Structure 1
Amino acid sequence: MTIRSPYPDVEIPEVSLFEFLFADGFGDRTDAPALIDGGSGASISFAQLHGMVVKIAAALAERGIGAGDVVALFAPNTPYWVAVFHGVLRANAIVTSANSLYTPGELAHQLADSGAKLLITIAPFLDRAVAAAEQAGLTGDAIITMDKAEGHPALADLLATTAEPPALTVTATDTAVLPYSSGTTGKAKGVVLTHRNLVANLLQIQPLIQVSPETKILAVLPFFHIYGMTVMMNQGVHGRSTVITMPKFDLVEFLRVISTHRIQRVYIAPPVAVALAKHQVVDSYDLSCIEVIVSGAAPLDAELGRAVARRLGCRVLQGYGMTEMSPVSHCIPDDRPDIDLNSVGFALPNMECKLVDPGTGKEVGPGERGELCCRGPNIMTGYLNNPEATAATLDADGFLHTGDVATVTDDGVFTIVDRVKELIKYKGYQVPPAELEALLLTHEKIADAAVIGVHDAEGEEVPKAFVVLQPGAALTEDEVMAFVAERIAPHKKVRVVEFIDAVPKSASGKILRKDLRAREPQAT
C-alpha cells in the first residue's frame, strides 16, 4: 500500500533556486543580517548577500563559466560559502560540494568524476586542493580562494568585477548541485539534484518546521552536506531568518555562539546530543534561548533526546532523509511534541511512501517491517554518469529505495528500525565498507579484508576491519589503522581491527557480513 503524507500537497513553482530565493526582494529584511560569522560576529545583510551573488556570477561568467559547467566548493562553513554557492548557480552553472575533510585523492575523484572546471577553497586547504587539482588535471589558475593566498585569485577579485551578470537561463529541471553520496553501497557517487528538487524540499518542510524572520539558526553542520545546504543554509534564506555559521564543531565554542547570539533553532547529529546531555561545561552557558533542537543524519536514541530536552528546557525532534532526497523526506513537526521521539515523524507533503519486504519484494502494511521507498518532487534524477547505480536505487515507478527498514503506524508515523544497506554511519557521516576494503587490499601484507559497522562503548557505530594476512606476514592492529588513516578522511578511519584466517563469503564471492557480525568480540 502507498502511504501519503497527512499534510496536503504544496504547489511547487517551476523556477530556478535563485529566482525562488532572491527574485521577490527582501521587504523589511533587506538590511537585516542574513548571515553572521559565529566566531567574529561579522554579518552580511540580505541586500549584501544578493549583491555578492550577482557579482560572483558576473565574475565567473568572465572566466568562461556558464550553463552546464561544474564548480567545486571545498571549504568550511562561512557566510562567504553561501554567497559563492548562489553565485555559481546565478552564473547558470552547477555546484559540486566537497567534504572539507577529504584527502587529495578523495577530492581528486570528485573533481574528475563531476568534470569540475573550477575549485573554490580557502588558503588553509590549499595543500590538499592543489594536489587534488593536479591529479584531476586542473591547472593552478583554476583554483580560487575565499581568502587571500599568494598565487591564486581570491573572492575579493571576483567581487571587484564591473561586469554585468549573464542572463539567467537555467530552468527548474536543470541540474543545480552535485553532492556526493555513497548511496546504498560503494564509492561516493554524484547525486544529480535539480533546481526543482531543492525548491520542492524547501516548500515541503515549511508546513512542519516553524521558521520566521525572527528565527536565528545555527549552522555548525557542514553546508557541503545536503542537510546543512537545504535545512540550514537555504531554509534560512527562504525564511528570511538569520543563519549563524561555524566552521567546525567545538563544544565550548558551540555553546558560546548559541548563548552570545541567542540562537533559537539548532540542528545537530546524535553525537552532539551526547555532549549536550552529559558534559558539565553545558551548565556554564545560558542556553535558555534554544527553542528547538532537530537531530538528523543518523538515528537518535529517544532517551538521549529526552535527556537533552529536560536539561535545556527545549523541544528535541528528529528527521530523516538522504542526499538523494534533497534531503528531507520525514520529520517530527514542531507542533507535535506527542510524537514518539524514536520515530522520524510523518512523510512530508507531496511524498508517497511504501514499505517493501526485502526478501519477497511484496509491500507490507502498518506494523510490519519493510524497506522504506519514497517518491516525490525532491527525489534525485539519478547518479551522475552511473545508470547501473541509478537503476539499483530508483525503480521503474520512480520510488527511491532507501536501504533503511522502517515501520509505520496507522496514523502515518514512520520509525527506522534497521538497515538493508551495508553503509556505516559514523557521527552522521557515510562510510562505505567497500571503499575501506579496497584500500586495505592495497597493503602488500594483507591478503583479504572485510569491513562492517560495530558499536563502541558509547554506542557510536564505527568501522571494524577483519584482516587476513599474507602467509608469513606480520602486522599489528595499530599498523593497519595507521595505514588507513594516512590515506582517507578522518571519519572513515578503521577504529577496530581483528585478524582472522579467512573472510566468510558466499558461493558467488559476496562477503557474508552477517557471519562477521556474529563474531565476538565486535568492538572495543
Structure 2
Amino acid sequence: MITVAAPEVAAPAPVASEPEVTVFRSKLPDIEIPRHLPLHEYCFARASELPDAPCLIAAATGRTYTYAETHLLCRKAAAALHGLGVAQGDRVMVLLHNSVEFVLAFFGASILGAVTTAANPFCTPQEIHKQFKASGAKLIVTQSAYVDKLRNEPFFPSLGTVDLTVVTIDDDARPEEGCVSFWDLVTSADVGTLPEVKICPDDPVALPFSSGTTGLPKGVVLTHGGQVCGVAQQVDGANPNLHMRAGEDVALCVLPLFHIFSLNSVLLCALRAGAAVMLMPRFEMGAMLEGIARWRVTVAAVVPPLVLALAKNPALDKHDLSSIRIVLSGAAPLGKELVDALRARLPQAVFGQVRFCSPLSARSLE
C-alpha cells in the first residue's frame, strides 16, 4: 500500500497593518503660507503700505533707505543684471560682506528668476573658484578689494569676457580693469526693460554652500516656496515666533548674509514684517554697540560666541542698549549659563533660539 502525503498548504501571508499615525495640532490657527508668491514679492508685500518707513540702514555710511527706495533699487538692480545678460535660471555669485548692495543684488537676481550663490570674501581664491565652478555662476558682484582674488586665480576665466562679468560696488573709485560699476549700472537702469518672468514655488532662488563639516562644502538649493514657507512660519500668523513690528522694530544684521541664519531669520523676516535692518559689514564690538544705541535696535540676532563676547564685555555699560527687546540665537546650542550671563546685562530682553536654514521648530517669544 502506498501512502501519498497531502501537499502542504502555504499559510496566508500576514496582512501588513497600516502604520499608526499620530498628528499633533497646535491650538493656534493655521498659518496661511502664500507659496504662489515669489520670494521678492512676498518680502516686499508691505512696501506700498510703508513707503517712507526705514528699510535698510547702512551702518558704515549712516545712510537710511526707505521701503520705497529699496524696492525701486531692487528692481533697478534687476534691470541692470538683465542688461548684462542675466536671465531666469542663471547663477549670480555675490562675494560681499553685509551691505545694501548685497541686498539689491540678491533681490535683483530673484526678480529675474536667477539664483544667488553668496560666498565669503575672506575665502581663498581656490575656495571661491570651487564655488564659482560648482554653482555655474556667470557673473560676480564684489568689491575692488577682492578683485585680485579673481584675477590671480589661474582657473578663473579672464575678467570682462563672455565667460565672466565682474561688477564692483565701490562708488568712490573707477572700476578695476575688466570690471563694471554696480552703481553706474543701477543708477542708469530702466525698470521698463524688465522681462516678464513666471516663477514657480519650486524654482531655486539661492544656492548657499555648506560650511563643510562633513566633507567639502556643498551647494544647498533653496527654492522660492521653501524660503517663503520658512519666513512665514517665523513672522506670519496670529502668534508669530519672531514678532517684529512694522515701521517700529530695527533688526541687527551683523551676522554674515552669506550664511542662511542671517539671510533667512534676519533680512527676509524683517522685510516681510516691515521692520528695518541695520547692516554691519563685519563684527566689531565698539561699532556694533554704537550702532545699536544710535538706531535703537530692538531685535538682535546672535550666535553663542557673540553672546559670550557681549556678556563679558564691560563696554556694554557705556552704551544705551535698553531698546533691545528680543535676542535671537542660532547656528549652535546656547547654554543656560550664557543665557543667564547676558540676561543679567540685558534684563529687558526676551531670548529665543532657532536652528536650521528655515527653523524646524521654534517657540513663541510672547
Normalising TM by the smaller chain, what interval? 0.7 to 0.9
Q: CA deviation at 1:329?
A: 1.6
Aligned residues: 330
Counterpart for residue 291 of structure 2:
257
Counterpart for residue 205 of structure 1:
234
Percent identity between the aligned chains?
Answer: 33
1:158 lines up with 2:185 in the alignment: yes
Q: Secondary structure at the match of 1:258?
A: helix
Q: Secondary structure at the match of 1:212?
A: coil
1:31 lines up with 2:52 in the alignment: yes
Counterpart for residue 330 of structure 1:
361
1:145 lines up with 2:179 in the alignment: no
Distance 1:100 1:9 in 2: 41
Counterpart for residue 349 of structure 1:
none
1:176 lines up with 2:205 in the alignment: yes
Aligned partners of 1:172 and 1:195 also within 8 Å: yes
Aligned partners of 2:47 and 2:274 also within 8 Å: no
Unpaired segments ≥5 residues, structure 2:
1-20
Deviations 1:82-124 (A, max 9, x none): 1111001112211001123211111111000000000101122
What TM-score, normalized to structure 1?
0.60
Aligned partners of 1:293 and 1:314 also within 8 Å: no
Distance 1:39 1:64 in 2: 31
The one-letter code sitting in structure 2 at the alignment partner of 1:57 is: A
Distance 2:78 2:297 in 1: 31
Counterpart for residue 122 of structure 1:
143
Counterpart for residue 113 of structure 1:
134
Counterpart for residue 65 of structure 1:
86
Distance 1:5 1:190 in 2: 34
How do 1:224-235 and structure 2 match up within 5 A?
224-235=258-269
Q: Secondary structure at the match of 1:295?
A: strand
What TM-score, normalized to structure 2?
0.85
Counterpart for residue 400 of structure 1:
none
Q: CA deviation at 1:238?
A: 0.7
Deviations 1:361-418 (A, max 9, x none): xxxxxxxxxxxxxxxxxxxxxxxxxxxxxxxxxxxxxxxxxxxxxxxxxxxxxxxxxx
Distance 2:142 2:316 in 1: 33
Q: 1:20 aligns with which of 39, 42, 47?
A: 42
Q: Secondary structure at the match of 2:180?
A: coil
Counterpart for residue 317 of structure 1:
351
Q: Secondary structure at the match of 2:219?
A: strand
Aligned partners of 2:322 and 2:346 also within 8 Å: yes
Q: CA deviation at 1:212?
A: 1.1
The one-letter code sitting in structure 1 at the alignment partner of 2:131 is: Q
Distance 1:138 1:114 in 2: 18
Aligned in 2, Cα 1:5/1:329: closer, same or farther, shift over 3 Å?
farther
Taking CA–CA contacts closer than 8 Å with sequence separation of 6 or more, which of the two structures ends up with the larger relative contact order? 2
Q: CA deviation at 1:293?
A: 0.8
Distance 1:4 1:36 in 2: 41
Q: Secondary structure at the match of 1:120?
A: strand
Distance 2:47 2:286 in 1: 37
Q: CA deviation at 1:331?
A: 2.5
The one-letter code sitting in structure 1 at the alignment partner of 2:128 is: L
Aligned partners of 1:300 and 1:318 also within 8 Å: no
Counterpart for residue 373 of structure 1:
none
Distance 1:194 1:183 in 2: 21
Aligned partners of 1:305 and 1:316 also within 8 Å: no
Q: CA deviation at 1:199?
A: 0.4
Aligned partners of 2:250 and 2:296 also within 8 Å: yes
Q: CA deviation at 1:23?
A: 5.1
Deviations 1:103-152 (A, max 9, x none): 111111100000000010112222224345x5243633511011143322
Deviations 1:278-310 (A, max 9, x none): 111111111111111111111111111111112
Distance 1:294 1:270 in 2: 10
Q: Secondary structure at the match of 1:135?
A: coil
The CA RMSD measured in Å over matched residues stands at 1.9
Q: CA deviation at 1:181?
A: 0.8
Distance 1:9 1:128 in 2: 48
1:246 lines up with 2:287 in the alignment: no
Distance 1:5 1:114 in 2: 39
Deviations 1:52-80 (A, max 9, x none): 11111112112211111000001001122
The one-letter code sitting in structure 2 at the alignment partner of 1:211 is: M
Distance 1:231 1:103 in 2: 27
Distance 2:285 2:256 in 1: 15
Aligned partners of 2:351 and 2:365 also within 8 Å: yes
The one-letter code sitting in structure 2 at the alignment partner of 1:39 is: A
Q: CA deviation at 1:2?
A: 6.5
Higher-Rg structure is 2
Aligned in 2, Cα 1:138/1:266: closer, same or farther, shift over 3 Å?
farther
The one-letter code sitting in structure 2 at the alignment partner of 1:150 is: E
How do 1:373-522 and structure 2 match up within 5 A?
none
Q: 2:65 aligns with which of 44, 54, 64?
A: 44
Unpaired segments ≥5 residues, structure 1:
336-524
Q: CA deviation at 1:168?
A: 2.5
Q: 1:88 aligns with which of 109, 134, 138?
A: 109
The one-letter code sitting in structure 1 at the alignment partner of 2:229 is: A
Deviations 1:410-464 (A, max 9, x none): xxxxxxxxxxxxxxxxxxxxxxxxxxxxxxxxxxxxxxxxxxxxxxxxxxxxxxx
Counterpart for residue 408 of structure 1:
none
